[in-house]
């Protein structure tokens, strides 16, 4: 065995076994269901899910939009005044994306199907 083949075996042991004709077992962790089953799973993923204030804040692009959401949720008694103060502080100190990545339109339909 020359140096190149030893280095190749060290770097890619499974590929080297396959090239040399040895049997290589691959573990399968899951099986993808057909499209009909996937649609049913997707429909159930977010069924009954009610977005919270953070979900709405993740849709915002500006501080103004986020403040409107916080004001509205506080006015509707969906969040307490104490929580609204904490959210405004985080918004002003860390920005809109501090609540998480932006959720685009149709988020639940797209994510539910993946």
Phi-psi region of 2 (alpha: psi -120 to 50; beta: other; left: phi over 0): beta
Task: Give the residue numbers spanning the domain of 38.
Answer: 32-113
Q: pTM to 2 decimals?
A: 0.55
- Each residue of 47-84: pLDDT tens digit? 666 778 988 898 899 999 999 999 999 999 999 999 99
pLDDT of residue 1: 54
Same domain, 36 and 23: no
- Nearest CA to 108 among 56, 68, 63, 69? 56
DSSP state of 7: H
| Co-location of 14 and 52 in the same domain | no
Same domain, 48 and 97: yes
Complete DSSP assignment for 39-56: HHHHHHHSTT----HHHH
Rounded-to-integer distance, Cα 114 and Cα 110, Å = 7
Spatial separation of the C-alpha atoms in residues 9 and 3, rounded to whole Å: 10
């Amino acid at each position: 065995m020359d140096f190149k083949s030893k280095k190749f075996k060290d770097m890619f042991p499974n590929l080297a076994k396959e090239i040399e004709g040895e049997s290589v077992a691959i573990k399968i962790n899951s099986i993808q269901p057909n499209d009909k089953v996937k649609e049913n799973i997707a429909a159930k993923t977010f069924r009954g899910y009610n977005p919270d204030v953070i979900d709405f804040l993740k849709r915002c692009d500006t501080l103004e939009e986020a403040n409107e959401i916080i004001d509205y949720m506080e006015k509707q008694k969906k969040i307490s005044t104490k929580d609204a103060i904490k959210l405004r502080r985080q918004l002003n100190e860390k920005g809109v994306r501090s609540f998480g990545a932006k959720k685009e339109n149709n988020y639940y339909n797209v994510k539910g199907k993946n």
